[in-house]
């Protein structure tokens, strides 16, 4: 098991050094390449007609923010970067930054919006997050893989709509638009996969 799947249950975890292979790749894992910490932003298996399998990977340097595309051979191994996680909650974002509060110290701390914009669309005020520290410096955040959000706006469904489409677009309380089955109504809570941005299931009926 890789450490950063769900560290949400502890305030602070120091992680031992692991060697991980390409088959352990997950979005959010941080690996060491030439002693720099690179977070996996995206990855895709590719298997050319004649040749081994490869993983085409998009990485972000956690120190410099630089993006890099790199292809690894399946099975290549990497040293995992020692990270610290601190539990926090999301407060708000302005035009430049997203602001969080550390659970333990109540200290407020911010990250630039370009690092957080893909994630805050799944967060509402008070949502729990893991703040990632490298060498004592706040570098990134992890959000849960599944979040529950309320449907804020939904187009009314009229009779006979089933012949048209099985899905409709709704707006969630965070402003995010997602496709959901037509039986979902305004005010209902639904579960969203934050890796794919897709609807998973209905959580409750109101």
Partner 1 sequence: MMENWEKIYFNPKLKKIQIQRSRINQLIRAFFKKRGFLEVETATLVKCAGQEPYITPMNVSFEDERNRKYKGYLITSPEYSLKKLLVAGFEKIFEITKVFRSNESFGGIHNPEFTMIEWYRARSNYKEIMKDTEELVCFLNQKINNSNYLIYQNKKINLTLPWPRLTVKKAFLKYTDIDLDKCQNLKNFKKEIKRNKNLKDLVNDNDDWNDIFCKIFIDKIEPSLPKDRPIILYDYPLPQAALAKRKNKNSFYAERFEVFIAGIELANAFSELTDPKEQYNRFKKEQNLRKKLKKEIIPIDKDFIRALELKMPPSGGIALGIDRLQMLLLNIKDINDLLLFPAKQIFNKS
For partner 1, give the closer residue by CB, 103 or 146. 146
Closest approach of Cβ 137 to partner 1, in Å? 25
For partner 1, give the closer residue by CB, 166 or 203. 166
Q: Which stretch binds partner 1 (CB under 8 A): 1-9, 101-109, 151-159, 164-172?
A: 164-172
Q: Which of 65, 112, 155, 164 contacts partner 1 by CB under 8 A?
A: 164
Closest approach of Cβ 44 to partner 1, in Å? 7
Of the candidates 133, 118, 124, 126, the residue with the CA atom closest to the CA atom of residue 197:
118
For partner 1, give the closer residue by CB, 62 or 129. 62
Q: Does 148 bind partner 1 (CB under 8 A)?
A: no
Q: Which of 1, 14, 16, 34 contacts partner 1 by CB under 8 A?
A: 34
CA angle 98, 132, 44 (to 5 degrees): 95
Q: Do the beta carbons of residue 3 and residue 81 sit within 8 Å?
A: no
Q: Do the beta carbons of residue 121 and residue 106 sit within 8 Å?
A: no
Q: Does 45 bind partner 1 (CB under 8 A)?
A: yes
Over 19-44, what HEC string results? EEEHHHCCCCCEEEECCEEEEEEEEE
> How many angstroms separate the Cα of 67 from the Cα of each of 46, 89, 173, 186, 189?
20, 27, 31, 39, 35
Contact track, partner 1, 50-79, x by CB under 8 A = xxxxx-x------------xxx-x--x---
């Amino acid at each position: 098991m890789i450490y950063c799947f769900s560290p949400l249950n502890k305030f602070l975890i120091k992680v031992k050094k692991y060697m991980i292979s390409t088959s352990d790749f997950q979005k959010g894992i941080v690996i060491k390449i030439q002693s720099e910490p690179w977070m996996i932003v995206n990855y895709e298996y590719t298997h050319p007609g004649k040749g081994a399998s490869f993983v085409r990977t998009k990485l972000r340097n956690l120190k410099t923010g630089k993006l890099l595309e790199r292809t690894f051979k399946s099975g290549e191994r990497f040293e995992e970067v020692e990270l610290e996680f601190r539990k926090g909650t999301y407060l708000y974002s302005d035009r430049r930054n997203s602001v969080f509060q550390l659970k333990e110290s109540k200290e407020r701390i911010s990250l630039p919006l370009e690092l957080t914009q893909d994630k805050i669309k799944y967060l509402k005020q008070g949502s729990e997050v893991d703040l990632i520290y490298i060498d004592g410096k706040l570098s990134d955040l992890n959000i849960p893989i599944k979040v529950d959000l309320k449907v804020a706006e939904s187009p009314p469904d009229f009779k006979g709509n089933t012949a048209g489409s099985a899905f409709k677009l709704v707006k969630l309380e965070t402003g995010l638009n997602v496709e959901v089955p037509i039986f979902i109504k305004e005010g209902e809570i639904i579960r969203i996969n934050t890796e794919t941005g897709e609807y998973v299931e209905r959580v409750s009926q109101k």
